[in-house]
């Protein structure tokens, strides 16, 4: 028997995620590859599937193509069937609504007809850009038990990080009594995870009230907390907002450490392996007679003849003899030629590193990227999709090599720390 | 109308006694191969890559695993208006008391109505048991060029091995491409030709149907033994198409192991990526596993590993299917480990083929000893590992076994599936068969 939960899921997947820099040059943040085989949105979609929820709307806006292809019919997450389904909800022009989404609440408001045709009791609002494992069914039960109008999933984060989040102050019954959006001087360490359960009726009424309220965290929640029943649903476990290069890199590295708490396979995370290049449709990875592989995650279709240490390799990556890949994340079908070295770098798809080239040269990790000092400042170098690095070129730390750059982009044979090409 | 002209029929029913425990619960065509797929995937991928999309699979021995594997056929793009895979099991027939397929030719005979319904212009009969890469379109083109009644795919084998196959004497009409079949012998004691039949047969449908009807009621129903000799006798136009390349027939455990080893090395004889081998990723949920985790202290060399494994020990010259865990201090050498084998810590596996879902307790040793750390498996252990004729023999472990810690299994031993716990003993002698 399949117990019906009858909640509607709205997945907000429109964010630009600009701090991910060139990783979001060609794709929306939820579509950024993660952990070799996955895309970030797989975690949210799989959580929805594993919670037994079957009706999903995905609100897109920014570069939705690869995202739409990835979601496809939704079959990968069991969303196909008579009463099941996943709908892509792009911005649209219409009788009254004729603009891009101005914020999260505005995006939902513009799709109010989707809420109206699905007469359910609750709406689960998610963001598509977090890495976590959560049972929304349990959260819905909690919401019903508390007879809440709104329930906000919250977790404890270090006080130093709270300024990135919505922060809530709760009473003894977990009712949220005060709200601070991205506070500079926080009074609490309880952060919102951007996961909400709304009573559908309540949500419709709230959104109808004032069209200038375009954001949940900024406008809708503070007023709801003041006037209505808003509860915090405490979450304990692995949850990461991988919105920065540093956080993205760290979450990938967490995959390599057994005790870190991230276990996509055990969590039941699925991806759409049929989409784009049929990622799992590869022969097993081949390890050469002199290969050295330590503490790494290796996907099918890789060919490793050199050394790979503490790295995450997506399908089809080739590491030739004498090449060394260390502390890095390589997307699908990158090639690292003989004798090349890749250290502390993220390589987007199909990057070709010429023989003897060095990425991440030198030991000075403290010269931030000159153009984007807030994006790259911990030593990680970014290489864009399909970039070709000529033989013997030397690229320093905190560098950005734009996608599809070729031989003629390198007047000198060197890219110093913090520079971009 | 754009209907396909070729109907391919795959013979996938056989068990192959010599593969022993590997075919206890599945036909040979469904035996896992190459770290992620099944033997039949080679024939199916060849068909897909040859744009042949109307397929029938004749199966009768324990078909569950095969049916599960085929699924909708979407994995090989064989789903659509005129595309599809039909599995044709034996069926009750009021007119005839013999319900089971009595041989390869009988299996096709019993499905003549299926053939007539699809009205193909040529029928390709294939075996689902072989490892090879072939573009059938080239052979079909040759078949038409020669206006042949039957074209037989042939490959050169060493003369001393030819007695195991159907063997054809070919004239050199078309040099490298092929020629008229002058004589055909099925498993001849003294072969006079090195051209062995690949079990890739392209028939003119009228000729096939007539031959099957004429053969019906006799007491033998095999293509190689009965149908081809009969057509030879009738002076039909029979041609041999010369196939160049690798052919793995894997009829014994040793051959099966060797074919797997042919996947390894700098320039492997079997290159699944180049050959475009596809499998059904939904079977055993191999699309749901995460990439393989290689531990901090692990070593992996000259091996193939699909997604979903965790390796903390040493793996050399081996093939690991999804879900295999290799514990710390364990060495796996020259082995083929099917799905979801759990190898505990400090084990040693040498030249082992292990079927799915077995658990190897801590310190289990299988096969010839590996290096000083493990101590030699000697007479002291009640074993004689160097018994003449036993050296280098492959050890086979049937599925769903729980091997107690510190068990020593000599090389060439055979362990039946799901051995009851009380039957296990400290030492299994080399070559011993545990049923």
Q: Does residue A276 belong to any structural domain of this protein?
A: no
CA nearest to A271 within chain B: B288
**Is residue B158 included in any domain, yes or no?**
yes
Pair (A120, A159) in one structural domain: yes
Q: Are residues A232 and A306 in the same domain?
A: no
Q: Contact B281/B287 with Cβ under 8 angstroms?
A: yes
A318 and A372, same domain (yes or no): yes
Do A253 and A317 sit in the same domain of this protein? no
Whether residue B194 contacts residue B155, with contact meaning beta carbons closer than 8 Å, is answered with: no
With an 8 Å Cβ cutoff, is B291 touching chain A? yes
Is A218 an 8 Å CB contact of chain B? no
The C-alpha atoms of residue B304 and residue A302 are separated, in whole angstroms, by 10
The count of structural domains within chain A is 2
| Structural domain includes residue B282 | no
| Domain span including residue A401 | 282-415
Chain B touched by A273 (CB under 8 Å):
yes
3 state SS for chain B? CCCCCEEEEEECCCCCHHHHHHHCCCCHHHCEECCCEECHHHHHHHHHHCCCCEEEEECCCCCHHHHHHHCCCHHHCCCCCCCEEEEECCCCCCCCCCCCCCCHHHHHHCCHHHHHHHCCCEEEEEECCCEECCCHHHHHHHHHHCCCCEEEEEEECCHHHHHHCEEEEECCCCCCCEEEEEEEEECCCCCCCCEEEEEEEEECHHHHHHHHHHHCCCCCCCHHHHHHHHHHHCCCCEEEEECCCCEECCCCHHHHHHHHHCCCCCCCCCCHHHHCCCCCCCHHHHHHCCCEEECCCCEEECEEECCCCEECCEEECCEECCCCEECCCCEEECCEECCCCEECCCCEEECEEECCCCEECCCCEECCCCCHHHCCCCHHHCCCCCCCCCCCCCEEECCCCEECCCCEECCCCEECCCCCHHHCCCEECCCCEEC
Tell me which chain A residues have a C-beta less than 8 angstroms from the C-beta of B284.
Answer: none
The pLDDT of residue B226: 94
Cβ <8 Å between B306 and A296: no
Chain B contact probe: residue of A284, A299, A314 with most B CBs at under 10 A: A284
- Chain B residues with CB inside 8 Å of A318's CB? none
pLDDT recorded at residue B259 = 94
B310 within 8 A of A263, measured Cβ to Cβ: no
Is B124 within 8 Å of B52 (Cβ atoms)?
yes
Q: Is residue A267 part of a domain?
A: no
Asked if A35 lies within 8 A of B289 by C-beta distance, the reply is no
Together in a domain, B410 and B373: yes
- Do B304 and B245 lie in one domain? The reply is no
Residue-wise pLDDT tens digits, A366-405: 899 989 998 999 999 999 999 999 999 999 999 999 998 8
Last-in-domain residue among A225, A259, A293 = A259
Looking up residue B38, the CATH number of its domain turns out to be 3.90.550.10
* Span A273-310, pLDDT tens digits: 877 766 778 999 999 999 999 999 999 999 999 999 99
Rounded CA separation B138/B6 (Å): 13
Chain B residue with the nearest C-alpha to that of A42: B288
Q: Examine the domain organization and report whether B207 and B332 are in the same domain.
A: no
Residue where a domain terminates, one of B220, B241, B261? B261
Q: In 10 A of CB A406, how many CB atoms? A: 12
Residue B283 lies in a domain: no
pLDDT tens across B131-166, in order?
A: 999 999 999 999 999 999 999 999 999 999 999 999
Domain contains B78: yes
Same-domain check for residues B83 and B127: yes
Q: Which two tokens stand for residue A333?
A: 């079908």
Task: Provide the CA B397 distance to its chain's centre, in angstroms.
Answer: 18
Sort strands B6-11 and A400-401 into parallel, antiparallel or unpaired.
unpaired
Residues A206 and A255 in one domain: yes
The tokens of B100 are what? 């089971």
Note whether B34 contacts A284, CB cutoff 8 Å. yes
Q: Is residue A366 part of a domain?
A: yes
In this structure, chain A runs to a length of: 421
Domain count, chain B: 2
B266 near A CB under 8 A = yes
Chain A CB contacts of B281 under 8 Å are 273, 280-281
pLDDT band at B375 (very low <50, low <70, confident <90, very high): very low
Residue A81 resides in a domain: yes
Whether residue B278 lies inside any domain: the answer is no
Inter-chain residue contact B35 with A284, CB threshold 8 Å: yes
The answer as to whether A274 is a domain residue is no
* Statement to judge: residues A59 and A119 lie in one domain: yes
Check pLDDT > 80 for residue A79: yes
The dihedrals phi and psi of A86, each to the nearest 5 degrees, come to -125, 130
**A297 closest CB neighbour out of B34, B266, B291:** B291
Pairwise CA distance, residues B202 & B8, whole Å = 9
Q: Nearest CA to CA, how far is A86 from chain B (Å)?
A: 20
The answer on B252 and B354 residing in a single domain is: no
Same domain, B25 and B81: yes
The answer, yes or no, to whether residue A180 has pLDDT greater than 50, is: yes
Residue A185: the pLDDT is: 87
Residues A196, A299: one domain? no
CATH number at residue B308: 2.160.10.10
* Beta-strand pair A150-156/A190-199: antiparallel
Q: Report the percentage of chain A scoring pLDDT > 90.
A: 62
The average confidence (pLDDT) of chain A is 90
Q: Nearest by CB to A288, from B295, B298, B302: name it.
A: B302
The share of chain B scoring above pLDDT 70, in percent, equals 93
- Answer whether A369's CB lies under 8 Å from A400's CB: yes
CB pairs under 8 A between A and B: 105
* Chain A residues near residue B320 by CB distance under 8 angstroms: 284
Domain-located, residue B31: yes
Residues A134, A19 within the same domain: yes
Is residue A266 included in any domain, yes or no? no
Its ipTM equals: 0.88
Whether A70 and A195 map to the same domain: the answer is yes
CA-closest candidate to residue A151, choices A226, A219, A234, A207:
A234
**A99 CB within 8 Å of a chain B CB:** no
- Is residue A277, in this structure, part of any structural domain at all? no
Judged by CB atoms within 8 Å, which residues 209-238 of B form the interface with A?
none
| Residue-number span of the structural domain to which B304 is assigned | 289-434
d(CA A295, nearest CA chain B) in Å: 4
Is B275 contained in some domain?
no
Scanning A277-296 for CB atoms below 8 A from B yields 280-296
Note whether B39 and B131 are within 8 A (CB). yes
Tens-place pLDDT, residues B50-90: 999 899 999 887 788 888 999 999 899 888 888 899 988 87
On whether both B244 and B151 belong to a single domain, the answer is yes
Mean pLDDT, all residues of chain B: 90
Q: Could A284 and B291 be called an inter-chain contact, meaning their C-beta atoms sit closer than 8 Å?
A: no
**Does B294 contact A36 at a Cβ distance shorter than 8 Å?**
no
C-alpha closest to that of B10 among B29, B37, B25, B32: B29
Which residue of A265, A284, A292 is in closest CB contact with B290? A265
Q: Name which of B277, B301, B308 is nearest A287 (Cβ-Cβ).
A: B301
Of the candidates A37, A269, A287, which has its C-beta nearest B300's C-beta? A287
Determine the distance in angstroms separating the CA of B78 from the nearest CA of chain A, rounded to an integer.
15
Is the CB of residue B307 less than 8 Å away from at least one CB of chain A? yes
The encoded tokens of residue A85 equal: 């389904």
The verdict on B159 and B229 lying in the same domain is: yes
Same domain, B20 and B165: yes
**All residues at 6 or more sequence positions from A81 whose CB lies less than 8 Å from its CB, including other chains:** A54
CATH code at A194? 3.90.550.10
Do residues A293 and A153 share a domain? no
User: Considering the domain boundaries, does residue A59 fall inside one?
Assistant: yes
Say yes or no for a CB contact (<8 Å) between A284 and B304. Answer: yes
Q: Are residues A286 and A255 in the same domain?
A: no
Mean pLDDT of A317-331: 97
CB-based contact B291 A273, cutoff 8 Å: no
Contact status of B293 with chain A (Cβ, < 8 Å):
yes
Chain A stretch 237-256, residues whose beta carbon is closer than 8 A to a beta carbon of chain B: 255-256
Cα–Cα dist B46/B59, whole Å: 19
Both B62 and B139 in one domain: the answer is: yes
**CATH number of the domain bearing residue A288:** 2.160.10.10
Pick from B294, B302, B304: CB nearest A295: B294
A260 in reach of chain B (CB within 8 A): no
Residue B45, in any domain of the structure: yes
Residues B70, A207: Cα–Cα separation, whole Å: 50
pLDDT band, residue B372 (cuts 50/70/90): very low
Does the distance separating the beta carbons of B301 and A284 come in below 8 Å? no
Say whether residue A300 is in contact with chain B using an 8 A CB cutoff. yes
pLDDT tens digits for range B199-258: 999 999 999 999 999 998 888 889 999 999 999 999 999 999 999 999 998 888 999 999
Query: What's the pLDDT score for residue A412?
Result: 75
> Buried (b) or exposed (e) across B285-318, using 16+ Cβ within 10 A?
ebbbbbbbbbbeebbbbbbbbbbbbbbbbbbbbb
Residues A224 and A342 in one domain: no
Taking the CA of residue B17 and the nearest CA in chain A, the distance in Å comes to: 29
Q: What distance in Å separates the CA atoms of residue A202 and residue A212, rounded to the nearest whole number?
A: 18
């Amino acid at each position: 028997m399949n117990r019906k939960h009858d909640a509607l899921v709205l997945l907000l997947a429109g964010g630009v995620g600009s701090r991910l820099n060139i990783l979001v040059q060609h794709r929306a943040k939820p579509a950024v590859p993660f952990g070799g085989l996955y895309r970030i949105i797989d975690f949210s979609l799989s959580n929805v599937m594993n919670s037994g929820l079957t009706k999903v709307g995905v609100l897109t806006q920014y570069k939705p193509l690869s995202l739409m292809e990835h979601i496809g019919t939704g079959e990968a997450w069991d969303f196909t069937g008579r009463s099941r389904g996943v709908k892509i909800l792009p911005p649209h022009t219409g009788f009254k609504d004729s603009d891009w989404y101005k914020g999260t609440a505005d995006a939902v408001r513009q799709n109010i007809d989707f809420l109206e045709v699905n007469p359910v009791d609750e709406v689960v609002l998610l963001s598509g850009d977090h890495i976590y494992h959560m049972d929304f069914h349990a959260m819905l039960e909690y919401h019903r038990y508390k007879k809440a109008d709104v329930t906000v999933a919250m977790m404890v984060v270090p006080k130093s990080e709270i300024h990135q989040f919505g922060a809530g102050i709760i009473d003894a019954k977990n009712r949220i009594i005060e709200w601070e959006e991205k506070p500079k001087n926080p009074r609490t360490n309880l952060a919102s995870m951007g996961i909400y359960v709304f009573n559908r009726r309540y949500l419709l009424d709230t959104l109808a009230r004032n069209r200038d309220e375009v954001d949940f965290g900024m406008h809708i929640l503070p007023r709801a907390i003041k006037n209505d029943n808003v509860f915090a649903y405490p979450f304990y476990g692995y949850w990461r907002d991988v919105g920065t290069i540093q956080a993205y890199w760290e979450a990938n590295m967490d995959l390599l450490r057994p005790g870190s708490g991230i276990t996509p396979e055990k969590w039941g995370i699925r991806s759409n392996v049929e989409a784009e290049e049929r990622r799992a449709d590869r022969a097993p990875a081949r390890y050469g007679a002199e290969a050295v592989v330590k503490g790494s995650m290796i996907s099918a279709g890789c060919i490793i003849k050199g050394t790979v240490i503490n790295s995450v390799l997506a399908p089809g990556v080739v590491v030739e003899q004498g090449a060394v890949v260390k502390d890095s994340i390589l997307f699908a079908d990158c090639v690292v030629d003989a004798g090349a070295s890749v250290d502390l770098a993220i390589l987007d798809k199909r990057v070709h590193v010429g023989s003897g080239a060095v990425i991440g040269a030198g030991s000075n990790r403290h010269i931030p990227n000159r153009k984007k000092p807030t994006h790259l400042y911990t030593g990680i170098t970014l290489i864009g999709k399909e970039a070709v690095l000529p033989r013997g070129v030397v690229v320093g730390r905190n560098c950005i090599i734009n996608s599809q750059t070729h031989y003629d982009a390198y007047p000198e044979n060197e890219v110093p720390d913090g520079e971009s090409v | 109308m754009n209907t396909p002209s070729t109907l391919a029929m795959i013979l996938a029913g056989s068990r192959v006694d010599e593969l022993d425990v590997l075919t206890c619960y599945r036909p040979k065509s469904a035996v896992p191969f190459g770290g992620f797929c099944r033997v039949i995937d080679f024939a199916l991928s060849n068909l897909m890559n040859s744009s042949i999309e109307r397929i029938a699979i004749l199966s009768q021995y324990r078909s569950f695993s095969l049916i599960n594997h085929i699924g909708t056929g979407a994995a090989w793009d064989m789903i659509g208006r005129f595309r599809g895979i039909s599995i044709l099991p034996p069926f009750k027939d009021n007119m005839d008391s013999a319900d089971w397929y009595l041989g390869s030719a009988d299996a096709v005979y019993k499905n003549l109505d299926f053939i007539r319904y699809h009205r193909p212009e040529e029928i390709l009969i294939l075996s689902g048991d072989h490892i090879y890469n072939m573009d059938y379109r080239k052979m079909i083109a040759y078949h038409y060029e020669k206006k042949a009644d039957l074209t037989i795919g042939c490959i050169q084998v060493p003369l001393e091995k030819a007695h195991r196959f159907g063997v054809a004497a070919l004239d050199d009409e078309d040099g490298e491409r092929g020629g008229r079949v002058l004589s055909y012998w099925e498993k001849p004691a003294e072969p006079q030709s090195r051209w062995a039949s690949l079990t890739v047969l392209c028939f003119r449908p009228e000729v096939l149907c007539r031959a099957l009807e004429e053969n019906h009621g006799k007491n033998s129903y095999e293509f190689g033994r009965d149908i081809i000799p009969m057509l030879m006798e009738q002076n039909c136009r029979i041609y041999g198409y010369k196939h160049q390349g690798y052919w793995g027939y894997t009829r014994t455990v040793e051959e099966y192991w060797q074919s797997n080893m042919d996947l390894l090395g700098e320039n492997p004889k079997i290159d699944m990526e180049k050959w475009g081998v596809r499998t059904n990723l939904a079977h055993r949920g191999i699309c749901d596993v995460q990439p393989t985790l290689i531990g901090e202290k692990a070593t992996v060399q000259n091996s193939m590993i699909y997604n979903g494994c965790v390796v903390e020990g040493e793996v050399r010259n081996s093939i690991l299917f999804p879900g295999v865990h290799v514990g710390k201090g364990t060495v796996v050498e020259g082995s083929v480990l099917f799905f979801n084998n759990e190898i505990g810590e400090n084990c040693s596996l040498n030249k082992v083929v292990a079927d799915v879902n077995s658990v190897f307790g801590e310190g289990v040793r299988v096969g010839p000893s590996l290096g000083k750390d493990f101590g030699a498996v000697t007479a002291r252990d009640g074993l004689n590992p160097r018994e003449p004729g036993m050296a280098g023999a492959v050890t086979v472990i049937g599925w769903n076994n729980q091997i107690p810690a510190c068990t020593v299994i000599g090389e060439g031993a055979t362990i039946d599936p799901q051995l009851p716990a009380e039957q296990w003993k400290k030492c299994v002698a080399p070559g011993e068969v545990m049923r």
